[in-house]
Amino acid sequence: MGLSDNDLQHFKSLLLKQRAGMLEADQNGQQAEEVVELDQARVGRLSRMDAMQAQAMSRETGRRRRGYLLDIDTALERIHSGEYGSCYECDEPIHPGRLQADPAARLCIICAEALE
């Protein structure tokens, strides 16, 4: 059960839209990841601690976003090479419903569940 050309175009379009959104969010999120100012005369200790916590959360969000961008780029490469839609582990087709939910999915549901 391979994906049709229309399916591949559909998933490529979804991936490109997600990629554009992630790149935009990454640009916007970079400012939140910047170093927190430690001047106690301007910011109280609790406010500074809140800012540092928000910065740490922004950094983790950015790290995850950049990881998913790599997943998207890998999926786009797999479309180009004709390997898209096949599970990395068992080489069986990934159900189109799973790809619709996550176009960058690399594993079929059985292998994904086994990995957890």
pLDDT in tens, 70-108: 999 999 999 999 999 999 999 999 999 999 999 999 999
Q: How far apart are CA 68 and CA 59, in angstroms?
A: 14
Indicate if the pLDDT at residue 38 is higher than 90. Answer: no
- State which fold the 5-115 domain adopts: Four Helix Bundle (Hemerythrin (Met), subunit A) (1.20.120)
Provide the token pair at 73: 């780029």
What's the pLDDT tens digit per position in 2-29? 799 999 999 999 999 999 999 988 877 7
Which pair of tokens denotes residue 22?
Answer: 């992630």
pTM equals 0.78
Model confidence at 50, pLDDT cuts 50, 70, 90, reads confident
11, 97 contact by CB (below 8 A): no
Q: In the prediction, which pLDDT does 13 show?
A: 97
